[in-house]
């Protein structure tokens, strides 16, 4: 098997006295789609944010695309490695976080031009390719405030893709969206998965996880409880905790569905 | 977010109601203007009644035959102030000529203040004690000392400091630069907190998105935070500027030929301080009204922006 793109070893994270991640070890291989599910507060977002050092891990080691950084070290070299990790890991946030003072295309080329030092023309060429990919070419010169939530999130995905990262990190990308806008974002993500983009997706969308994921990771209490293919996870989970969680989620979904059809 | 227009009422009842409310609003505005006018007339009448000489407002002094204008304008329509003779036709214009200087000092000072406030705010937000310390000290000192005292220190106290080689005769700063330094440094200290709040008002997600792209802290600041923060602080800067045009009158203590200095100068010379100071006050008031109008336009434009 090929070398993993993301490798996490014995990761711990504490916020003060709160121990939110407990000894997480985890690997993602090229072209894999891994969905992370779990209750809110189970540490799944924190885990994702530790991978590109938006949260500083308390202990452990993280390796992304060949750059390995250990917790608790310091120095210029480490800072440079973290930058390398961030350029090779594209991140999509729950709240989109587009830059409001830049147009769509400016948002998209900001990373390549400022961080990679790429020429403007080249960056626009690549950026337009990905903008077309998420189906928003006609919004090229709009400002983010004039876009719907779903459109903003698709631009955010294009922005991350234009850095041509080795892995894409999605932090609950549809949680802030109105229900009718979730579909368009999921469609884009499904396309990416089909094309072989390596993805780690923290999500509450069980349908998406079941359909797209190669592996589903269930987290509880800051630890990985179960890590299995979706057909196993959603039909006969190994752990009692997982089963309870899935039952509750599916029940909730049915209730919502019931209300809608009433 | 998409822009939606409010549904326009189509039935006649609603339309009549809207018209009635619009009439009511414009009637209110008219009455406010009337009350405003009455107050102004009353004040003017009071001043005239208590000894205010209005003749300079209306009489035009000609230069013919050594005629002396009643309102204190010198012979031949020439105002004598010290060795300087001015050939305008009245105090009004003589005092008004101070407006450019007042605005000049205010503009330079606000530019200096913005620059210092930006540095101060970055210092206050820094985790480095070598940056945080001086910034905090600067704010504390310049906000803790009266502006007039600061002006005197720049202008009167510094000349005593002699630095061999650099300033052998003392640090002598001419009045206008001293005024700009004093106003700019003092206002910079006040505005530091405004800038700090502006920078902090940018959501954390913006920093995270920029960091996630691989930007350095410096790039995050220059490309993402400051462009947005500056938009936030432009309206408060406008307000500070309006306040500053009035505080620039303190510079008159250094004999800078701005509005107040001109007014008090001829006021003293002809024992007509009442009239000249009222004229100066009116000019400050009018300037403030105009600047506030521009400020409200600016704010409306900022609010309409792309955010």
Rounded Cα distance, A98 and A104, in Å: 8
**Nearest chain A Cα distance for residue B218, angstroms:** 11
Q: Which residues of B touch A166 (CB under 8 A)?
A: none
% chain A with pLDDT above 70: 97
Q: Is the pLDDT assigned to residue A134 strictly greater than 50?
A: yes
Sign of the C-alpha dihedral computed for residues B260, B266, B269 and B275 taken in this order: negative
Are A140 and A106 contacting, i.e. CB atoms less than 8 angstroms apart?
Answer: no
Are A93 and B205 in contact (CB < 8 Å)?
A: yes
| A-B C-beta contacts closer than 8 Å | 74
- Rounded mean pLDDT, B80-90: 49
Q: Is the pLDDT assigned to residue A17 strictly greater than 60?
A: yes
Are B1 and A148 in contact (CB < 8 Å)?
A: yes
Residue A39 backbone zone (phi > 0: left; psi -120 to 50: alpha; other: beta):
beta
Task: For residue A98, give both structure tokens.
Answer: 């587009």
Ranking A12-16, A51-55, B84-88, B132-136 by mean pLDDT, the lowest is: B84-88
> What was the pLDDT predicted at B87?
43
Q: Is the pLDDT assigned to residue A70 strictly greater than 50?
A: yes
**Nearest chain B Cα distance for residue A218, angstroms:** 25
Task: For residue A112, give both structure tokens.
Answer: 């390549």
Are B231 and A83 in contact (CB < 8 Å)?
A: no
% chain B with pLDDT above 90: 57
pLDDT grade for B8, boundaries at 50, 70 and 90:
low
Q: What is the mean pLDDT of chain A?
A: 92
Candidate from A54, A95, A101 with C-beta closest to B212: A54
Q: Is the pLDDT assigned to residue B51 strictly greater than 80?
A: no
Rounded Cα distance, B195 and B201, in Å: 10
Beta-ladder partners of A224: A219
**Nearest chain A Cα distance for residue B227, angstroms:** 7
Candidate from B2, B214, B224 with C-beta closest to A99: B224
Residue B170 backbone zone (phi > 0: left; psi -120 to 50: alpha; other: beta):
left
- Which residue spans within chain B are E strands per DSSP? 79-81, 84-86
> What was the pLDDT predicted at B63?
43
Q: Which are the contacts of B237, defined by CB distance < 8 A and separation ≥ 6?
A: B110, B114, B191, B194
Are A97 and B2 in contact (CB < 8 Å)?
A: no
Candidate from B203, B205, B211 with C-beta closest to A86: B211
Rounded Cα distance, A166 and B32, in Å: 67
Strands A67-70 and A59-64, by their bridges, are antiparallel
Nearest CA in chain B to A92: B209
Choose from A49, A111, A152 for mutation: most chain B CBs within 10 A.
A111
Rounded Cα distance, B151 and B227, in Å: 33
How is A130-173 classified by DSSP, letter by letter? HHHHTT-GGGTT--GGGS-HHHHHHHHHHHHHHT--SEEEEEST
Sign of the C-alpha dihedral computed for residues B237, B238, B239 and B241 taken in this order: positive
Q: Residues A32-47, buried b or exposed e (16+ Cβ, 10 A)?
A: bbbbbbbbeebbbbbb
Helix (H, G, I), strand (E, B) or coil at A60: strand
**Nearest chain B Cα distance for residue A36, angstroms:** 20
The answer to whether A110 contacts chain B (CB < 8 Å) is yes
Nearest CA in chain B to A109: B213
pLDDT grade for B169, boundaries at 50, 70 and 90:
confident
Q: Is the pLDDT assigned to residue B69 strictly greater than 50?
A: no
Rounded Cα distance, A90 and B213, in Å: 7
pLDDT grade for B55, boundaries at 50, 70 and 90:
low
Element housing A229 (H / E): none
Choose from B202, B213, B304 for mutation: most chain A CBs within 10 A.
B213
Helix (H, G, I), strand (E, B) or coil at A36: strand
Are A48 and A89 contacting, i.e. CB atoms less than 8 angstroms apart?
Answer: no
pLDDT grade for B136, boundaries at 50, 70 and 90:
very high
Phi then psi for residue A13, to 5 deg, are -140, 130
Q: Is the pLDDT assigned to residue B62 strictly greater than 70?
A: no
> What was the pLDDT predicted at B81?
52
Task: For residue A85, give both structure tokens.
Answer: 């990790």
Are B216 and A95 in contact (CB < 8 Å)?
A: no
pLDDT grade for B230, boundaries at 50, 70 and 90:
confident
pLDDT grade for B64, boundaries at 50, 70 and 90:
very low
Give the full edge-to-edge strand order of the sheet including A167-171.
Answer: A89-92, A167-171, A199-202, A33-37, A215-220, A223-228
Nearest CA in chain B to A177: B1
pLDDT tens-digit map of A147-182: 999 999 999 999 999 999 999 999 999 999 999 999
pLDDT grade for B5, boundaries at 50, 70 and 90:
low
ipTM for the whole predicted complex goes beyond 0.90:
yes
Are B231 and A91 in contact (CB < 8 Å)?
A: no
pLDDT grade for B59, boundaries at 50, 70 and 90:
very low
Are A99 and B213 in contact (CB < 8 Å)?
A: no
Q: In a 10 Å sphere around its CB, with 0-12 CB exposed, 13-18 middle and 19+ buried, how is residue B204 labelled?
A: exposed
Put simply, whether the predicted model's pTM sits higher than 0.90 gets the answer no
DSSP annotation of B250 reads: G
Q: Is the pLDDT assigned to residue A68 strictly greater than 80?
A: yes
The answer to whether A176 contacts chain B (CB < 8 Å) is no
**Nearest chain A Cα distance for residue B292, angstroms:** 26
pLDDT tens-digit map of A206-229: 999 999 999 999 999 999 999 999
Are A111 and B213 in contact (CB < 8 Å)?
A: yes
Rounded Cα distance, A42 and A220, in Å: 5
Which is more confidently placed, A260 or B292? B292
How is A92-141 classified by DSSP, letter by letter? E-TT----TTS-HHHHHHHIIIIIT---HHHHHHHHHHHHHHTT-GGGTT
Residue window 66-95, chain A: list those with CB within 8 Å of chain B.
Answer: 83-84, 86-87, 89-91, 93, 95
Closest by CA position to B71, among listed B46, B86, B89, B45: B89
> What was the pLDDT predicted at B1?
45
Strands A33-37 and A215-220, by their bridges, are parallel
Nearest CA in chain A to B231: A101
Candidate from B2, B206, B216 with C-beta closest to A99: B206
Are B1 and A115 in contact (CB < 8 Å)?
A: no
Ranking A116-130, B43-57, B195-209 by mean pLDDT, the lowest is: B43-57
Are B307 and A100 in contact (CB < 8 Å)?
A: yes
pLDDT tens-digit map of A74-98: 889 999 999 999 999 999 999 999 9
Closest by CA position to A50, among listed A3, A96, A9, A4: A9
- 């003589």: which residue's tokens? B94
The answer to whether A111 contacts chain B (CB < 8 Å) is yes
Closest by CA position to B266, among listed B150, B98, B146, B99: B98
pLDDT grade for B73, boundaries at 50, 70 and 90:
very low
Measure the CA angle with vertex B38, ends B33 and B39; round to 5°: 100
Number of H helices, E strands in chain B: 12, 2
Are B191 and B236 contacting, i.e. CB atoms less than 8 angstroms apart?
Answer: yes
Q: Is the pLDDT assigned to residue B18 strictly greater than 60?
A: yes
Averaging pLDDT over each range in A49-58, B36-45, B70-79, B87-96, which range is the top one?
Answer: A49-58
> What was the pLDDT predicted at B80?
53
Rounded Cα distance, B151 and B167, in Å: 20
Task: For residue B277, give both structure tokens.
Answer: 């100071």
> What was the pLDDT predicted at B58?
46
Choose from A56, A98, A99, A167 for mutation: most chain B CBs within 10 A.
A99
Which is more confidently placed, A163 or B73? A163
pLDDT grade for B90, boundaries at 50, 70 and 90:
low
Task: For residue B16, give both structure tokens.
Answer: 């009549």
Task: For residue A93, give both structure tokens.
Answer: 């946030």
Nearest CA in chain B to A152: B1
pLDDT grade for B44, boundaries at 50, 70 and 90:
confident
Q: What dihedral angle (degrees, nearest 10) is formed by the CA atoms of B29, B30, B33, B34?
A: -140
């Amino acid at each position: 098997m090929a070398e993993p793109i993301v490798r996490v070893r014995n990761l711990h994270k504490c916020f003060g006295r709160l121990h939110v991640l407990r000894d997480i070890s985890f690997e993602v291989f090229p072209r894999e789609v891994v969905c992370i599910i779990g209750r809110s507060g189970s540490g799944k977002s924190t885990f994702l944010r530790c991978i590109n050092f938006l949260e500083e891990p308390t202990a452990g080691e993280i390796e992304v695309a060949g750059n390995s950084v250990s917790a608790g070290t310091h120095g210029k070299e480490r800072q440079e490695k973290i930058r390398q990790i961030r350029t090779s890991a594209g991140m999509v946030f729950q709240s989109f976080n587009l830059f409001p003072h830049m147009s769509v295309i400016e948002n998209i080329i900001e990373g390549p031009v400022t961080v990679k030092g790429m020429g403007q023309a080249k960056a626009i060429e690549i950026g337009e390719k990905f903008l077309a990919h998420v189906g928003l070419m006609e919004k090229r010169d709009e400002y983010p405030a004039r876009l719907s939530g779903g459109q903003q999130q698709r631009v955010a995905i294009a922005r991350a893709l234009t850095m041509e990262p080795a892995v894409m990190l999605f932090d609950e990308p549809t949680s802030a969206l109105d229900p009718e806008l979730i579909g368009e974002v999921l469609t884009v993500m499904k396309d990416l998965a089909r094309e072989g983009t390596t993805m780690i997706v923290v999500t509450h969308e069980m349908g998406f996880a079941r359909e797209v994921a190669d592996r589903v990771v269930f987290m509880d209490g800051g630890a990985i409880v179960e890590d299995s293919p979706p057909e196993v996870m959603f039909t006969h989970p190994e752990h009692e905790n997982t089963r309870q969680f899935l039952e509750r989620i599916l029940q909730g979904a049915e209730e919502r569905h019931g209300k809608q059809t009433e | 977010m998409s822009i939606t227009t409010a549904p326009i009422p189509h039935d006649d009842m609603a339309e009549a109601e809207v018209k009635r409310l619009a009439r009511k609003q414009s009637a209110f505005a008219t009455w406010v203007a009337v009350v405003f006018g009455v107050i102004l007339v009353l004040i003017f009448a009071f001043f005239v009644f208590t000894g205010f000489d209005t003749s300079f407002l209306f009489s035009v002094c000609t230069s013919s035959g050594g005629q002396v204008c009643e309102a204190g304008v010198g012979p031949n329509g020439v105002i004598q102030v010290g060795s300087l003779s001015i050939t305008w036709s009245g105090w009004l214009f003589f005092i008004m000529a101070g407006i450019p200087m007042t605005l000049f000092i205010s503009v330079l000072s606000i530019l200096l203040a913005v620059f210092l406030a930006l540095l101060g705010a970055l210092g206050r937000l820094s985790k480095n004690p070598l940056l945080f310390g001086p910034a905090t000290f600067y704010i504390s000192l310049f906000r803790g000392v009266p502006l007039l005292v600061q002006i005197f220190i720049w202008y009167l106290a510094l000349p005593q400091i002699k630095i061999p080689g650099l300033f052998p005769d003392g640090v002598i700063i001419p009045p206008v630069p001293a005024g700009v330094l004093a106003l700019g440094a003092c206002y910079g200290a006040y505005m530091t907190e405004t800038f700090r709040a502006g920078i902090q008002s940018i959501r954390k997600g913006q920093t995270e998105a920029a960091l996630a792209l691989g930007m350095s802290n410096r790039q995050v600041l220059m490309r993402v935070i400051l462009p947005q923060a500056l938009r936030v602080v432009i309206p408060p800067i406008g307000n500070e500027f309006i306040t500053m045009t009035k505080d620039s009158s303190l510079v008159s203590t250094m004999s800078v030929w701005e509005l107040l200095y001109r007014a008090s100068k001829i006021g003293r010379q002809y024992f007509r301080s009442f009239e000249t100071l009222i004229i100066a006050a009116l000019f400050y008031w009018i300037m403030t009204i105009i600047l506030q109008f521009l400020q409200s336009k600016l704010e409306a434009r900022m609010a309409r922006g792309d955010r």
